[in-house]
Amino acid sequence: MKNKAKAWALALMIIPVFFLSGVAAFIAYVDPYFHFHGPLEGVGYILEDERYQNDGIARNFDYDAMIAGTSMTENFKTSSLDRIFGTRSVKVPFSGGSYYEVDNIVRVGIKHNKDLKIVVRGLDYGRIIEDKDHTDYDPDTYPTYLYDDKPLNDINYLLNKEALFMGIQDILGFDAKGKITTSFDDYANWTPYFATGRDAVNASYNRAALEYVGEQYPITEEQKETVIGNVTQNIVRTVEENPDIEFYLFITPYSIYYMDFFYVRGMMRAQLEAERMMIEMLVPYDNVHLFSFYTDYDLITDIDSYRDIGHYNEQVSENILEWMHEGKGLITKDNWEEYCDEVYDHYMNFDYDGAYAELSGKEGVVLYK
């Protein structure tokens, strides 16, 4: 009787160990977050969790070009980049990502992929004046165990319920074509989920709720130091350390409503002066191809091309790749001052009241002048 009790107790201890070992082995084999290896042939991987999968994509996929940025790059298609530039690319966007977070994923790609030759990266216009170490996420909930090189904490991944379910879906899931693979064209692409156009943009912007400051304040010394720290650490450092990589950087083109927000809040002058600082810091580098489309005034005022005051649609994303290849909007050592002077003059003296009245459909409404 005692022997049977001991055997039963031993079984109760061994069975969970075998079960958990099986779960860990399954997750490590399928590897839905690509932590240990790239995709297995014949497995229909789902791409949907940016902060869980991007690090593995940057480490373990086969590519020579990368699209990196925030939600402003989520609609970019790797197939378009490959067609236009002749590359073999991946996309690793972070919705709500700071310059710090985006730079980190670029550096992961550079470290683990010696074939990387082109980086296409969006520089969010509204994040130029931001602390160099800023992040929007909660560090306590971030999956740091996927980003470091500490094997012991991989247990957080190997016994992760969400990873297990995703691995099962990767193995067993089928769509009409027999797979559930999400391509990089579809990865993080928000086009199917958000309406775009004038009605959507106007619904997203409550101008009347803003407090009109009445003056455009210059950039402060503290803000200047912030810009220098942010750009130096999160762009310039990576550019300098990798002269053989071509960096296609573009300042993300917000709609005229976003510029209106800056103006109403008295931030327009400081924003333009911060942009000028960033541009002056980047144009000296031969491996930087810096673009801005803020002089394409038809684009900036075409709110039918946006989903809200900042996010442009998939067609604009496609156009940006074409424009960069054509050299449209290129800022160089020779024209950067002319560009900065032009956008300063335009957006500091723009008729925001008139534009809002026309674009909102409230003709004749003048709120601030």
**123 closest CA partner among 72, 81, 162, 53:** 72
Question: What is the rounded CA–CA span in Å between residue 307 and residue 198?
Answer: 8
**Angle at the Cα of 27 (from 182 to 37), degrees rounded to 5?**
65
Query: How confident is the model at residue 231, as a pLDDT?
Result: 98
Domain edges within the chain: 2-359
Average pLDDT across the chain, whole number: 91
Query: How confident is the model at residue 175, as a pLDDT?
Result: 43
- Identify the residue with better confidence: 253 or 365: 253
- 2-359: CATH number: 3.40.50.1110
- Burial of residue 353 (CB within 10 Å: 0-12, 13-18, 19+) is middle
Neighbours of 30 (CB within 10 A): 22
Residue 216, pLDDT above cutoff 80: yes
Confidence class of residue 169 from pLDDT cuts 50, 70 and 90?
confident
pLDDT in tens, 5-19: 554 445 445 666 566
Residue 218, pLDDT above cutoff 80: yes
**301 closest CA partner among 232, 266, 269, 254:** 254
pLDDT in tens, 84-138: 999 999 999 999 999 999 999 999 999 999 999 999 999 999 999 999 999 988 8
Query: How confident is the model at residue 364, as a pLDDT?
Result: 47
Query: How confident is the model at residue 314, as a pLDDT?
Result: 97
**269 closest CA partner among 223, 233, 231:** 223
Asked whether the beta carbons of 183 and 81 are under 8 A apart, the reply is no
Asked whether the beta carbons of 297 and 350 are under 8 A apart, the reply is no
Confidence class of residue 176 from pLDDT cuts 50, 70 and 90?
very low
Confidence class of residue 29 from pLDDT cuts 50, 70 and 90?
very high
Asked whether the beta carbons of 92 and 67 are under 8 A apart, the reply is yes
